[in-house]
Structures are given as C-alpha cells and as structure tokens.
Amino acid sequence: MAVYEQKPTRTAPSNAKGPIYWMRENLFSSPLNIALTFFGIWLLYIIIPPLVQWLYIDATFEGTTREDCAANSGACWVFIKAKIDMFMYGFYPAAERWRLNLGLGLFVAFVIAVRFIKSDKIKLILFNLYLVVACILVIGGVGGLEFVPTEKWGGLMLSIVVAASGIILSFPVGILVALGRQSKLPIIKSLCVTYVEFIRGVPLITILFMSSIILPLFFPEGITFDKLLRALIGIVLFQAAYVAEVIRGGLQSIPKGQYEAADAVGLSYWQKMGLVILPQALKVAIPNLVGVFISLFQDTTLVLIIGLFDLLAMVRITAADSNWLGMETEGYVFVTFVFWFFCYIMSLYSTRLEKRFNTNLK
C-alpha cells in the first residue's frame, strides 16, 4: 500500500495577495479601468476637501445666535443646535416631550431584551405590549396624560410614526394580497390583481391627495377622520401593493414539491402557508422587503403636501425664522445625515436577518 506524505501548506506568493494585488486586479487591470480610477481620484479630490472644509474646519459649533457664525465661512451648526427640538418633536408641547423620550427608551429596552429572549411567542407579546404603551404615550388622553392632537406632531417624530405605521400595517395586508393573487378563486384573484396594478400605476402623492380629500366623501355626513389617519390609510394601501409583489416573488421561488409535501401530511391551506411556504418565501424576500421599507421611510417627506410637517418640512419652517434666514443648507445637510442613518440601520438589520435565516449549505 502506497503511503502518501502530507506536504506542509505554503503561503501564497506575494504577487497574488495583499493590497497591491487587489489594486492591480480591481483598479488597474485594463486601460479603461486605469482611466476610470484616475477620474474617480480626481473627482474625490475636487469634492471631499471643500466639503470637509465647510462641514468641519470652517464650521461654527459653539454659540446661540446667528451672529456667532459671522466670523467663519463654514457651516453654521449653531442653527441646528438652536432648532433641534423642532427638528425632533415638531410642535409637540415641550412639557410633554418626556413621553416621547420615554417611548424611545422603552424601544431600546425592548431591542435589548429581545436579544436575550429565546421564545418567539414572548417576543411577539412584548412587541404588541410596546405598541400599546407607545400609542398611549404619544397620543395621551389616558391615565391622566394630556391629549396631544396630531396637528402638533412633527419633525423626526412624525416621520418615524408614519414610517413605522406604514411598515407594520402594510406587511400583513401585503401578505394577504400576495396570497390572493395566487388564489384559485377567480373573484379573489381578480380583485387582488386589480388592486395591485391600480396602486402601482399611481404615484404616492396622488394616493395621499385621494386619501386626504376624496376618502372622507365615502363616509356619512358628520363623520370625520384625522388628517394623519387619512394619510396613514393611503400610505398603508400604497405600500401593501408593493409588499405583496415582493412576497409574491418569494412565493414563486418555492419549489412545487414544498406545496405537495405540505398537502401530503394533511395540512390545511393556512397551516401550509404559515408553517411551510411563507417562512421560506419571506426569507427569500428579505432584501427586497427592506428596500421597499427604506423607500417608504424616504417617502414620508411627501406628507408635507397634505399639511403634515415632517422632518424635511421643519427645515423650511425653521429657516423661515427672521433670525435664521438663509440656513436651509445646514438644515438639509442635517436631514440628509438623519435619513442616511436610519436607512443604514435598516439595511444593516436586513443583512443580519439574511445571515440568521440563511439555511443554505456552504
């Protein structure tokens, strides 16, 4: 019997690893790549230094009035510091803002607790309990808390409320619509197809106008809906159509054998969907679902057209102050970073979910 001797492993040659190898393969692999690389370096050179100069080096961070920024030619971050309450809370009463801070603190506590709780049932119960407590804190009118009408809501707080409500409510509606589109009942399938195609053919701004102006016409005289509630109805209906299409794509990726296996063990339709099909379809749809939710968070700025003052609208309102005229640029840059932060957190969480539910063999 031949005896084979295992040779010791050798390190890769220096010309096949390291940063020089990566640059040669990715940045200087062809004349076109070389030209694009130098063009990119030149573009960064003319953009980044002036931007850093304006944002940090020549910026003013200390002070309370606009006059404190007169000595520097950079950004006047004193404006953001002076108007931060309006950016965060809008016109929410100052004496009641502790309720919003408490709601945020409870959310952080919930996120931390979820990391140590193994039972999905307990997680769901805690999530529903948090939603009830958060609604009571934000709206008030219960337990001695002052009622705060939605006309006083605004800023980042309103953007989060609109986005969170749209995400939470449109998700189950989207699942039902996606299942309806795959239904063998022609009436249900036709209704779902008509709904999805109609919503996808109309921009969100039109849906908001319809929900704000036309929706009240369908209710008896004397019955009125809050402006924010009407906007949420429109956003949920709009978002559910896109969620349905994403989930339908996930359902189509499931092999037919999974349906047949579920039928073979005697599962009912809802047991088959809830225990076998949907968990697999949602896992596949995670990246696209998060993309849809990120788009919804960005589209919350459209509520301005129906008289709701979100974070972006607060920039216009605060910059119209006679003491801070001309500070829109700082406000828009601040809003840009805020939106980027929230969208990045959602994208990061999406990546973690993909890794957690990745059952593919490596």
Question: How do residues 307-320 score in pLDDT, each as one tens digit?
Answer: 888 888 888 888 88
343-353 pLDDT, tens per residue?
Answer: 999 888 888 88
Residue 112 within a domain: no
Please give the average per-residue pLDDT across 3-15, as a whole number.
66
- For the residues of 4-27, what is the DSSP string, one character each? PPPPPP-PPPGGGSHHHHHHHHHT
Q: Which amino acid is at 268?
A: S
Identify the band that residue 195 occupies on the pLDDT scale cut at 50, 70 and 90. Answer: very high
Please give the average per-residue pLDDT across 76-86, as a whole number.
89
DSSP type of residue 321: S
Torsion angles phi and psi, residue 234, rounded to 5: -65, -40
Percent of the chain with pLDDT over 90: 33
Contacts of 154 (CB under 8 A, 6+ apart): 86, 89, 90, 91, 92, 308, 309, 310, 313, 314
Average pLDDT, the chain: 86
Residue 98, pLDDT score = 92
What is the domain-level CATH number for residue 244? 1.10.3720.10
Residue 303 within a domain: yes
Identify the band that residue 120 occupies on the pLDDT scale cut at 50, 70 and 90. Answer: confident
Taking the C-alpha atoms of residue 187 and residue 238, their distance in angstroms, rounded to an integer, is 21
61-75 pLDDT, tens per residue?
Answer: 888 888 888 887 888
Q: In residues, how long is the chain? A: 362
Higher pLDDT: 12 or 114? It is 114
pLDDT of 338 higher than 90: yes
Residue 200 within a domain: yes
Taking the model in full, what pTM does it have?
0.84
Residue 360, pLDDT score = 64
Residue 28 within a domain: no
Taking the C-alpha atoms of residue 281 and residue 286, their distance in angstroms, rounded to an integer, is 9
Residue 62 within a domain: no
Residue 362, pLDDT score = 47
Residue 68, pLDDT score = 82
Please give the average per-residue pLDDT across 327-355, as a whole number.
89
Which element (helix H / strand E) includes 158?
A: helix 155-181
Instruction: Name the residue range of residue 258's domain.
Output: 155-309
Domain count, the chain: 1
Taking the C-alpha atoms of residue 342 and residue 42, their distance in angstroms, rounded to an integer, is 30
Taking the C-alpha atoms of residue 232 and residue 169, their distance in angstroms, rounded to an integer, is 9
HSE value, Cβ hemisphere, 13 Å, CA-based, for 136: 11
Residue 1, pLDDT score = 55
Percent of the chain with pLDDT over 70: 94
Contacts of 188 (CB under 8 A, 6+ apart): 180
